[in-house]
Amino acid sequence: GSQPSSLTTAAPSGASSWQFRYRLGDKPQTATLGRLDRVTLGQARAKAQDVRTLVADGHHVTAVRRVERAKRAAARTATFGVLSADWRKREARRAEWPDDSRQEVTASLANHLSALAALPVAGITAAIAAKPIRKVEDSAPDMAAKVRQRLRSIMDYAAEQGLIPINPIPAARRGK
């Protein structure tokens, strides 16, 4: 096969872009590295080297980029608030919660875990979750175990959905 090369080309819109041409199997492929007015030659060469590595490993560059873009989009929209609402809806249906249980869980999440609502679920660590849990322990010790269990269940759900690799919230506390 021919050696891949970086070059510029004019798009139908008139914008010029750096491209990297390569072969994957027997098919010619083109990876766009960035617009000429936004990417320097040095940056284009570095991006071309990254593409060479992917191609050498047998990856289709466009497919890899689509997956990365989808992961970034999912991470932006996967806040704790969105995920907890989805978990609450699914869990209520699965466990056939009566209306008073649905209302109790909704109120509990709003009252005790609202500080986490805007955070991306992938960014929530045990240390971040500890603050609202401690606050519940200080103000309503009997409620703390329920809140902790709900938080763990939501984070388990996030792991099941592939949004986080593992649940960062510890299962049980040592001592009292």
At 2 the pLDDT is 40
pLDDT band at 7 (very low <50, low <70, confident <90, very high): low
pLDDT band at 146 (very low <50, low <70, confident <90, very high): very high
pLDDT at 175 exceeding the cut of 70 = no
pLDDT band at 4 (very low <50, low <70, confident <90, very high): very low
Q: Does the CA dihedral 107-169-129-161 come out positive or negative?
A: negative
At 129 the pLDDT is 94
pLDDT band at 3 (very low <50, low <70, confident <90, very high): very low
Q: b or e along 20-44 (b: 16 or more beta carbons within 10 Å of the residue's beta carbon)?
A: bbbeeeeeebebbbeebeebeeeeb
pLDDT at 6 exceeding the cut of 70 = no
CA distances from 69 to 65, 76, 94, 121 (A): 6, 11, 32, 18
At 5 the pLDDT is 56
At 42 the pLDDT is 93
* DSSP letter for each residue of 5-68: EEEEEE-TTS-EEEEEEEEETTEEEEEEEEETTTS-HHHHHHHHHHHHHHHHTT--HHHHHHHH
CB 117 within 8 A of CB 81: yes
Helix (H), strand (E) counts: the chain: 6, 3
At 77 the pLDDT is 74
Rounded to 5 degrees, what angle do the CA atoms 127, 75, 51 make? 120
Per-residue model confidence as pLDDT tens digits over 10-63: 677 778 899 999 888 888 988 889 999 999 999 999 999 999 999 889 888 888
Whole-model pTM: value is 0.60
Per-residue model confidence as pLDDT tens digits over 59-115: 888 889 998 888 777 777 789 999 999 999 999 999 999 999 999 999 999 999 999
